[in-house]
Chain A
Amino acid sequence: MSESKTSATSTAATPSSPSSLADPAARQALMAGVEPTPGSAKPDPILVVDNIVRQFGGMTAVDVNHLEVQRGIITALIGPNGAGKTTFFNLITGFDKPTSAKTGAHWSFDGAKLDKTSASSVAKAGMVRTFQLTKALSRMTVIDNMMLGAQNQSGENLFKSLFRPTWKGQEKDIELKAEELLDRFKLLEKKNDYAGSLSGGQRKLLEMARALMSDPKMIMLDEPMAGVNPALTQSLLGHIQSLRDEGMTVLFVEHDMHVVRHISDWVAVMAEGRLVAEGTADSVMSDTAVIDAYLGAHHDTDLGDDALLSDETLEKMADEVAAEEAQREEGPA
C-alpha cells in the first residue's frame, strides 16, 4: 500500500532533478560519436528493435531490421505518408502483432523483452504512447481522464473498490498530481468540463498530460502537432523539451520539418516500411535518399511564398526536372 502511494506521487508532476542531457552541448557530444547510418548502435539505448516485419496481405507495411533509440534525448521518426510509422508505433507498443513474431522479431525496452507483451503491459513497463487521432474520453470529465492515467491504483481492484478508506488517500494524491499536470498544460480551469467539449488542440494536450500521469520512462507521440495552431505548437514543443530535460526519452512522429529540426536530437527516417536513414536533423535533411523519398528538392522553400509563383522560378524548376529526368535516363545505361 505505502509503496504504491509513493510511486503514484513521485516524479513527472514535480520536475525531478534535471538530467545531464538537459545541456544541448552534452547531447551533441553524446550523439556525435554515433554513426549516421540506419540501425546504428547508440551508447545507451532504451529501446532496441530487431527484425520486426508486418505484412497486410501481400503488402509489407513495416520491415525494420534494427533500430536503437537513445535514452534521454528526443528522437524524431519521419517519413512520407504510408511509410509505416504509425504501424511501427502500434507494433512496439503492443497494439498490433508483427508478422515476423515467430521468425525472430525481438524488441526490448529498458532491458526487458517485449516480444509477447500486451499493450497494457508495455505501458506498465514505462513506455506510454499517444494516438494520431486523439483518444480523449469524451463523456468523462478532464480530471477523470487524467486520473485514469495513474498506475497502481488500489481502488481499481474490484474488491478494494467497495471499501473507500482503502483507496481514499491514494485518490487524493493522484488528484493533486493530476491538477499539477493540468496546470502545467494550461487545462486546470477546464478540470470539471467534459473532455468532449475541448478543442482539438486541447485534447492533444490532455492526452499528453494523461500519458504523463503514469510516470513513463519513454513517451511516444504520434503526430503531436497535427492540426494544432502555431502558438499552441510552440507551447507543446516547450513541453516536449522540458520532458526531455527531466530525463524522459521522447520518440515522436512528425511531418513539420521545422519542428523536427527545432527540437529533435536525432532523426530516423522511414520509407516504404524500411529505415532508410538516421542522423542529426541537419545531416538527414541533406541526405539524398531522404530528399528523394520524402522531403523533395524544395523542402527549404516556403510554398506559401508568392515569389515562388513567378515565371522565373517556374522555369528554373522545369529545368531542374528536365535535368533530373535526363540523369535518370542516363542512370541505368
Chain B
Amino acid sequence: MDTIQAILNAMLREAVSPQTAAVAIAAIGLNIHFGFTGLLNIGQSGFMLLGAYGFAISVGHGVPLLIAVLIGFAAAFVFALVLGAPTLKLRGDYLAIVTISAAEIIRYVGRSSLLTDFTGAAQGLQGKSYRDPFTDLSFFGDGSTAIGPLDYQNTGVNGWWVRFVAWILVALCLLVVVLLVRSPWGRLLRGIREDEDAIRSLGKNVFAIKMQALIIGGLFGALGGMIYVLPSSVQPDSMGRSLTFFCYTALLIGGAATIFGPVLGAILFYSARIMIKGIANSYVPDSIMNGQQTEQFSYIVVGVALMLIVIFRPQGILGDKRELRFNV
C-alpha cells in the first residue's frame, strides 16, 4: 500500500511542478500554431530556448527582471519573423522543415564553446546566476509549508513561489487564448487551417494572419522556456527536439484546437510518466530492469500511448469527435 501511496504522491508532485506548467504554456502556444492555424511548427523548443537564453543572459548581465523578460520575448519575436518570412507563403511542410532545423541551430549555437561567456556553452547557465531577482519578488516569506504530500520551501529555489507564479501564468495564458480564439481573429485562424485559398478569395491577408499566429504562439513558447529554467538551469541539451515532442504529446493527449487540452495533456503526460516509472521501479526486479532502464521504459510506454491515442482517439481527450468526421 505504501508503494502505491508513494507513487501517487510522486505523480501529484510532478503534476504541479513548475516544469509541467512551463510545458503546458509552450503547448498552449503550439496549439495556436498547430491546433488553430494548422502551422506545423516542429521547433517549439527553439522558441523556449531563445526565451530562456534571452531572459537568463540579460539578468546575468544586470538587466532588471522585467526588461530581461521582454528581451526573451523579443528574441522569440525575431525568431518567428525570420522563420516565417520565407516559409509562410509556401506549403505547410516547409515551415516544419525550417523550424526543426532552426531550433537545432539555436541549440548548437548555444552550446558552442565560443559563446562560453554568454551561454555557458554545453554546461549551460547555473540557476543561481539569474534566479535571484525573481525569488526576491516573493512575498511568501521564509520557511516551508506542507499541503498534503506537497512539502516545499515558501520561496526557495524550487518552492511554492515559483509554482504559484507558473500556474498563475498558465491561467493568464489560457485567458488570453480564450479571448483570441473566440474572436473574429480566431475564426480567421480556423479558416486558414481549413483552406487558405478560400480565405484569400474573401479578401483576407493570409500571410499576415499566419505570421501573427506564428509570433503569438512563439511568445507563449518563450514564456514557457523562461519558466522551465527558473527552478533549474539553462541546459541547451535538455531543451532540444525531445522537448518539442513532449509539447506535441501534451497537445495531442489533451486535444488540439481545444482551450484546456494542452494544460490537461501536459499534466497527464508528466504524471503518467512518473506513474509508469514508479510502478516499474517498485514491482519489476532490478535484474530485469534497473533504475536507469525504467526511465527509458517510461518514455517508451508514453510513446506507445501517444500512438494509441492518435489512432483511436485522434481528437484527444477534450476534442470534438464531430469535427474530425469531415477531415479530408
Inter-chain contacts of A139 with B (CB < 8 A): 190, 193-194, 323-324, 326-327
Inter-chain contacts of B203 with A (CB < 8 A): 120-124, 128, 151, 214
Cβ of B2 under 8 Å from chain A? no
Chain B interface residues toward A at CB < 8 A: 176, 179-180, 183-188, 190-191, 193-195, 197-206, 209, 212, 216, 322-328
Chain A interface residues toward B at CB < 8 A: 93, 95, 118-124, 128-131, 135-140, 144, 147-149, 151, 153, 155-158, 161-162, 164, 167, 171, 194-197, 210-211, 213-214
Of all chain A residues, the one with the shortest Cβ separation from B323 is A139
Cα-based distance from A157 to B323 in the complex (angstroms) = 26
Give the most central of A149, A197, A214: most B CB within 10 Å. A149
In the assembled complex, 14 residue pairs joining A and B whose CB atoms fall closer than 8 Å, in A order, are: A137-B191, A139-B190, A139-B194, A144-B191, A148-B188, A148-B204, A149-B202, A155-B183, A156-B204, A162-B180, A164-B179, A167-B183, A194-B326, A210-B202
Cα-based distance from A151 to B199 in the complex (angstroms) = 11
Q: Beyond A137-B198, A139-B190, A162-B179, is A147–B206 a contact (Cβ under 8 Å)?
A: no
Of all chain B residues, the one with the shortest Cβ separation from A220 is B201
Q: Beyond A123-B202, A162-B179, is A156–B322 a contact (Cβ under 8 Å)?
A: no
Q: A153 near B184 (CB under 8 angstroms)?
A: yes
Inter-chain contacts of A120 with B (CB < 8 A): 200, 202-206
Query: Chain B binding site: helix, strand, loop or mixed by DSSP?
Result: helix
Cα-based distance from A171 to B186 in the complex (angstroms) = 13
Cα-based distance from A171 to B185 in the complex (angstroms) = 12
Looking at the complex, which one of B186, B194, B199, B202 makes contact with A161 (CB distance below 8 Å)? B186
The minimal Cβ–Cβ distance linking A26 to chain B, given in whole angstroms, is: 31
Q: B205 near A196 (CB under 8 angstroms)?
A: no
Give the most central of B186, B203, B325, B326: most A CB within 10 Å. B203
Give the most central of B194, B201, B216: most A CB within 10 Å. B201
Q: A161 near B185 (CB under 8 angstroms)?
A: yes
Inter-chain contacts of A148 with B (CB < 8 A): 187-188, 191, 199, 202, 204
The minimal Cβ–Cβ distance linking B183 to chain A, given in whole angstroms, is: 4
The minimal Cβ–Cβ distance linking A215 to chain B, given in whole angstroms, is: 11
Q: B180 near A161 (CB under 8 angstroms)?
A: yes
Cα-based distance from A95 to B203 in the complex (angstroms) = 12
Of all chain B residues, the one with the shortest Cβ separation from A155 is B184
